[in-house]
Structure 1
Amino acid sequence: MTMSYRVAGSTLFRHLGPRLFSTTSTIARAAGEPAYALLLSRSAPSASSRPPSPVLLRLFPVRMASTASTSQTLGGEQQEGEAPKPSAAAREASAAPPSERKAVSSYWGIEPTKIFKEDGTPWRWSCFMPWEAYRTNTSIDVKKHHVPATFLDKMAYWTVKTLRVPSDMFFKRRHAIHAMMLETVAAVPGMVGGMLLHLRSLRRFEHSGGWIRVLLEEAENERMHLMTFMEVAQPRWYERALVLAVQGVFFNAYFLGYLISPKFAHRVVGYLEEEAVHSYSEYLEDLEAGKIDNIPAPSIAIDYWCLPPNATLKDVVTVVRADEAHHRDVNHFASDIHHQGMSLKDTPAPLGYH
């Protein structure tokens, strides 16, 4: 039996050997040399004109090390020593001035669909689309507070209050930087909760009651808060490092907390949003008192919240605070559902922040 395997192996090698190690002097070129050319030139200095074996082409694709098309590299249309001819689209792009050159949006060179605003001007944002813009309800009660009743409620409340102390000591009255830190954390719970509800819906073959979309919209809204305040202030390197550390710890802690007790997790977020409303209220007080310059609103904020063109930073903080108040109510409501012994899928989710 062993001898038969050896005979079969030697026979296979005798038939495939010439194909695996054949080469051609016209393939290995200095410019745009394919990945397999060096291997072939070192393996056998044969002058055979046969093309590389299909086995090698599969192991070492031409496009792995060359931007030229496969037909130009292996076909007979290109003469020896002749440089690869660029396509018509490439020639047209290189001939255009640098300011007018268009970036290729995909491997196939397909241009993205052009989107325009209602006034006909081009849409300049890729992080959200025009149909995702909205006008927030600024009449929401920003002073509402959920009085902790149960032990879990009190634990969630004092956990958030304890975390607020080092945050206030570090940022003090630097509201823009504080808002950036706050939003990097506030965008985590909605994504974690929506992800876990999504997986649960898949496992149990059941609907989610609309809560997946609501929580993911919350995470997206918080992320847009961050994108807005990035235009107002730029964090220092140690503040960016702090964001990495805090987000890494908070994500894992909230993930485990949501697995153990969704009621407690939503209650924590509800109190976090209460503190966010309080922080933005202090931000507005300093803006109104003139301690902070009421600069023009960033363009991304004007398009996202459909603000007037002459909107200011005060208008931005006002709508952001209203968003946080809405997230506060949604998460307290979700915690109350679990407190009553029901599941989120059994209770329709409230309307999104739109």
Structure 2
Amino acid sequence: MGDWVAWKLVRIARWFMDRATGIGREQQVDMKNPTTSVVAEKPLTEAQWLVRLIFLESIAGVPGMVAGMLRHLHSLRRLKRDNGWIESLLEESYNERMHLLTFMTLSEPGWFMKTMILGAQGVFFNALFISYLISPRITHRFVGYLEEEAVHTYTRLINEIEAGALPNWSDPKFEVPEIAVSYWRLPEGKRTMRDLFLYVRADEAVHRGVNHTLSNLKQKEDPNPFVSEYKAGQEGRKPNAALKPEGYEREEVIGC
């Protein structure tokens, strides 16, 4: 039931996201098969995409910070170690902020957009704060579903670039911002907008797998399997979050 509620909340958030960023009915894709829909009836423009991405990433950086902060305080109160969760959660938040800073070099939001972000962040932060106090497991599940939506969004964007629906970003001479080259260490010849969004989508896929896995664990006692040191000869069992969209079950990663 908790997983169902988390999924429905993400669907509601997606609906509000579409309305807030001005996505019309003809610009939506088949949400039953979001990653297989190549191009919408009316593709978004580069400007519309930047509005959507900036709004998305300004919100996406909140969950990791809220969860990391609460686990940090919990560790202080209990006078016990956190078993590696805090590091991954804060790294996730930092990574999402780098996505935002990268996209902001391509577009400077106006006062209306900044006001929307301020309001959305206030609501989202407090909602996550309360939900994490009540049920960290369901909150991580919610974030996992949220990251799945991000994967769908970037897949659609990449499809539209490959189809030539975004002429500026489809141009191989249009190079990515320098901040992206430095952060992802993009090699020469791999610095197009398509390459950038492939890296960003890979980040979102990792966050998806991490949060679904954390949701499957015992919140107060299990170690974070993605930063754990494994026994000699079992290095190959170290989980790869990007390759497990639904996350790892507890018995797959605990006790190795």
TM range (shorter): 0.7 to 0.9
Give the secondary-structure state (helix, strand or coil) at the position aligned to 1:316: helix
- In the alignment, which of 97, 100, 107 is matched to residue 233 of structure 1? 107
Give yes or no for the alignment of 1:215 onto 2:89.
yes
Map 1:95-114; keep pairs closer than 5 Å. none
Give yes or no for the alignment of 1:224 onto 2:104.
no
**Which letter maps to 1:160?**
V
Give yes or no for the alignment of 1:297 onto 2:171.
no
Distance of 1:334 and 1:206 partners within structure 2: 19
Distance of 1:348 and 1:248 partners within structure 2: 29
Deviations along 1:203-256, one digit per CA (max 9) or x if unpaired, are 111111100101000000000000011112222221111000000110011001
Deviations along 1:14-60, one digit per CA (max 9) or x if unpaired, are xxxxxxxxxxxxxxxxxxxxxxxxxxxxxxxxxxxxxxxxxxxxxxx
**Which letter maps to 1:236?**
G
Distance of 2:188 and 2:112 partners within structure 1: 35
Map 1:274-293; keep pairs closer than 5 Å. 274-292=148-166, 293=168
Deviations along 1:261-312, one digit per CA (max 9) or x if unpaired, are 1011111100110001111111111111122222211100011001024411
Which is further off, 230-239 or 181-190?
230-239
Distance of 2:221 and 2:57 partners within structure 1: 27
Q: Label 1:346 to 1:166 Cα distance change in 2 as closer, same or farther (>3 A).
A: closer
Partner of 2:117: 243
Partner of 2:146: 272
Cα RMSD (Å): 1.7
Distance of 1:202 and 1:166 partners within structure 2: 37
Distance of 2:158 and 2:111 partners within structure 1: 27
Q: Label 1:303 to 1:347 Cα distance change in 2 as closer, same or farther (>3 A).
A: same
Instruction: Indicate if the aligned counterparts of 2:136 and 2:219 stay in contact, CA closer than 8 A.
Output: no
Give the secondary-structure state (helix, strand or coil) at the position aligned to 2:6: helix
Distance of 1:267 and 1:211 partners within structure 2: 15
- In the alignment, which of 311, 318, 342 is matched to residue 198 of structure 2? 318
Distance of 1:348 and 1:221 partners within structure 2: 18
Question: Structure 1: which 5+ runs fail to align?
Answer: 1-150
Give yes or no for the alignment of 1:164 onto 2:14.
yes
Distance of 1:204 and 1:281 partners within structure 2: 42
Q: Could you say which structure has the higher helix fraction?
A: 2
Instruction: Indicate if the aligned counterparts of 1:177 and 1:234 stay in contact, CA closer than 8 A.
Output: no
Partner of 1:343: 219
Instruction: Indicate if the aligned counterparts of 1:276 and 1:324 stay in contact, CA closer than 8 A.
Output: yes
Deviations along 1:71-100, one digit per CA (max 9) or x if unpaired, are xxxxxxxxxxxxxxxxxxxxxxxxxxxxxx
Give the secondary-structure state (helix, strand or coil) at the position aligned to 2:109: coil
**Which letter maps to 1:306?**
R
Partner of 1:327: 207
- In the alignment, which of 263, 279, 286 is matched to residue 137 of structure 2? 263
Distance of 1:231 and 1:238 partners within structure 2: 18
Partner of 1:100: none
Tell me the number of residue pairs that the alignment of Structure 1 and Structure 2 aligns. Answer: 200
Identity of aligned residues (%): 46
Distance of 1:313 and 1:233 partners within structure 2: 14
Instruction: Indicate if the aligned counterparts of 2:147 and 2:204 stay in contact, CA closer than 8 A.
Output: yes
Give yes or no for the alignment of 1:154 onto 2:4.
yes
Higher Rg: 1
Give the secondary-structure state (helix, strand or coil) at the position aligned to 2:187: coil
Distance of 1:167 and 1:258 partners within structure 2: 22
Distance of 1:345 and 1:305 partners within structure 2: 33
Query: Which structure is higher in RCO with an 8 Å CA cutoff and minimum separation 6?
Result: 2
